[in-house]
Amino acid sequence: MFLIFLCLVVHGRTCRTATDACGNSKCVTHTIAVVDTQPPRLIGVPSNLELDCKGQVPPMANVTAQDDCACPATVTALESHYPGECPSAFTIVREWTATDCWYVCKTTIT
């Protein structure tokens, strides 16, 4: 028998043994595989912005991740600055990456 569920990959083998009155026995094994097929979801990612003044740049958002499986999802954040054509023009790129035991979900805003 082979069963497939969603979520964390776990392989297990179980032996079921039957013994008759003469002491003859037979072991039958089955394997169970549980498979994570869905990446984590990022929660709280802000929209892209275009601002007029440097003082309007919001702080980095506190983005979290949610996963349907028992494996906890972690979030890492990265912020990069790129100069524009004049001193007061620049681009900030913020990237959040959520990782569970098997998948990576990445979102970038500018």
Span of 1-5, 10-14, 65-69, 97-101 with lowest mean pLDDT = 1-5
Separation CA 48–CA 94 (nearest Å)? 10
Is 0.85 topped by the overall pTM? no
Separation CA 6–CA 93 (nearest Å)? 34
Mean pLDDT of the chain: 77
Where exactly are the structural domains of the chain?
2-35, 41-109
How far is residue 95 CA from its own chain's centroid? 15
Distances (CA, A) of 104 to 38, 65, 76: 10, 11, 11
Average pLDDT over residues 98-107: 73
Average pLDDT over residues 18-40: 78
pLDDT of residue 17: 81
Distances (CA, A) of 110 to 24, 44, 53, 54, 92: 70, 15, 15, 14, 6
Separation CA 50–CA 52 (nearest Å)? 7
Question: Sign of dihedral through CA atoms 43, 48, 52, 53?
Answer: positive
State yes or no: pLDDT of 8 exceeds 50. Answer: no
Average pLDDT over residues 52-80: 85
